[in-house]
Structure 1
Amino acid sequence: METSDGRGSVDLQTDRAHGARIYDYILGGKDNYAADRAAAEATLQVWPALPVHMRANREFMHRAARYLATECGVDQFLDIGTGIPTSPNLHEVVQEVRPDARIVYTDNDPIVLVHARALMSSTEQGRTAYVDADLRDPDTILNSPEFRETLDLNRPIALMLLAVVHFIEDDEEALAATNRIIDVLPPGSYVAATIATDDFAPQTLAEVRRTYREHGETLRFRTKPRATRFFEGLDLVDPGLVQMHKWRPDAETEKAADTDIAMYAAVARKP
């Protein structure tokens, strides 16, 4: 399939499930394939709360983005593992508050590259860009012209790591990749992240992990102490590291049982 910007064909890798496309299917999207749907349906059999969990991740993104743009005055965002475009996307949320906001999206799913144009419908005052890259190779992101030309490294940037680090199984690899990016960000920058955990329903989520693996996708759950490591050296914003639905809930936050939410969430500031 040809990319949205005419850069030629890409291999969509439709023979194996991909986390972003499973997410798309569960949320009612159409940019998924048989392998993704099979993985999603099999997961729903063992964990019917999956849609609640995925909606909670998206709701956290909206709340965190509004908080960063409104209360912290951040107007630059780096969103790694953005997933398939689903409105309102990050730039739509923050540019409603800060029309001049600049956003760089990155993902390694070829179908996101196909739909990249939907991620670049910026306001006239702001700017968006897309980098086809993997979190495991942070230098590809940091050295890309899209990153360097869109974001100003002399001013605070918000790094968004939403539902992405659980696709890197090794703790040290995941920490090294995220820290490489955080190290480049100027003081006063922020990190907003959601990190998968099985602390609240270990038996059920062991079945979820097994199901994902059977369909070709990696999934790594982390305990709260392990999740906390991603914020070492940063100042956690109140209420700290909590389940997603408990991070500054508002009137639009869907009610959920703790056993239905399998990710911690936090926002932290780089001193």
Structure 2
Amino acid sequence: MTTESELQTDVPHAARIWNYWMGGTDNFPADRAAGDAVVRVYPEIAVMARESRRFLIRVVRYLAEEAGIRQFLDIGTGLPTMQNTHEVAPAARVVYVDNDPLVLAHARRLGTGSYLHADYHEPERILAEAELDFSQPVAVMFMGVLGYEPDLDVVRSIVSRTLAGTAPGSHFVLWDGTNTTPAVVEGAKRLAESGGVPYILRGPDELASCFDGLPLIEPGLVPITRWRAEGDFIDAYGAVGRSLGA
């Protein structure tokens, strides 16, 4: 179990900073200071945090209600907040994966479903230990987390190795922050300078390369505010791809 001393409340923590931007309460002064450093140069980060959850809700509802997906593998889930995957698709089997002991301790305290302590750099282990039936379609989700890996080739390898263990008819979901305006790039710089874990912002074309070989569900790779919605532009793109065997 994670103890108070292990929490390192005086050190900014990625999951708690995101929780702060989303309006949550599971954060500390160091997290809020790091979060505010970003907000000063990129106020839209709080909007992005909230819109990322709305994107998740729309995607999960589509997959559960229209695509018939009954299993979800949510990799790099972060701290449980409101409208988590298992709440949006209550009839589905959901396994959350995170490498952060704080996230797992918090999730277990809340009793929010099945959690696997693993790193997304270990896709074979995740596939072996996640309690899902991989002979049946599954939705694999990387929601705003792959920027912690600086090498795009490694990112693509993580995605392809994870999807290699899934059945035809499976779906792949990705969203991530993009380097599409100077303000968001400055925000990422301030986050690193304030002690937060550096996050690599990529271009939409780079994110699109993670979907190589996968047909995209309409409307394709777009700002997350415009995936089956009509929101304003935001520096975050997302898409849903479908296995060629579907």
TM-score bracket for the superposition, by shorter chain length: over 0.9
Give the equivalent residue in structure 2 for 1:124. none
- Contact 1:198/1:221, CA 8 A, preserved across alignment: yes
Distance 1:70 1:118, change over 3 A: farther
SS at match of 1:235: coil
Distance 1:119 1:81, change over 3 A: farther
The 2-side partners of 1:13 and 1:219 are apart by: 20
Identify unmatched segments of 5+ residues in structure 2. none
**Match for residue 267 of structure 1 among 236, 240, 245:** 240
Equivalent runs, 1:197-212 vs 2, <5 Å = 197-199=178-180, 201=181, 203-212=182-191
Equivalent runs, 1:137-176 vs 2, <5 Å = 137-144=122-129, 147=130, 150-176=131-157
Give the equivalent residue in structure 2 for 1:37. 32
- Contact 2:185/2:201, CA 8 A, preserved across alignment: no
| TM-score with structure 2 setting the length | 0.92
The 2-side partners of 1:12 and 1:175 are apart by: 31
| TM-score with structure 1 setting the length | 0.84
> What is the CA distance between 1:246 and its match in structure 2?
0.5
Q: CA RMSD in A?
A: 1.8
The 1-side partners of 2:109 and 2:221 are apart by: 32
The 1-side partners of 2:147 and 2:51 are apart by: 16
> What is the CA distance between 1:33 and its match in structure 2?
2.4
- Residue identity opposite 1:40 in structure 2: G
Is 1:232 equivalent to 2:212 in the alignment? yes
SS at match of 1:143: helix
The 2-side partners of 1:85 and 1:246 are apart by: 24
The 4+ residue runs of structure 1 with deviation greater than 3 A are 13-16, 118-121
Q: Deviations over 1:176-205 (max 9, x none)?
A: 112110111111100111022112x1x212
The 1-side partners of 2:71 and 2:172 are apart by: 12
- Contact 2:220/2:239, CA 8 A, preserved across alignment: yes
The 2-side partners of 1:118 and 1:175 are apart by: 34
Question: What is the identity percentage for the equivalent residue pairs of Structure 1 and Structure 2?
Answer: 40
Identify unmatched segments of 5+ residues in structure 1. 122-127
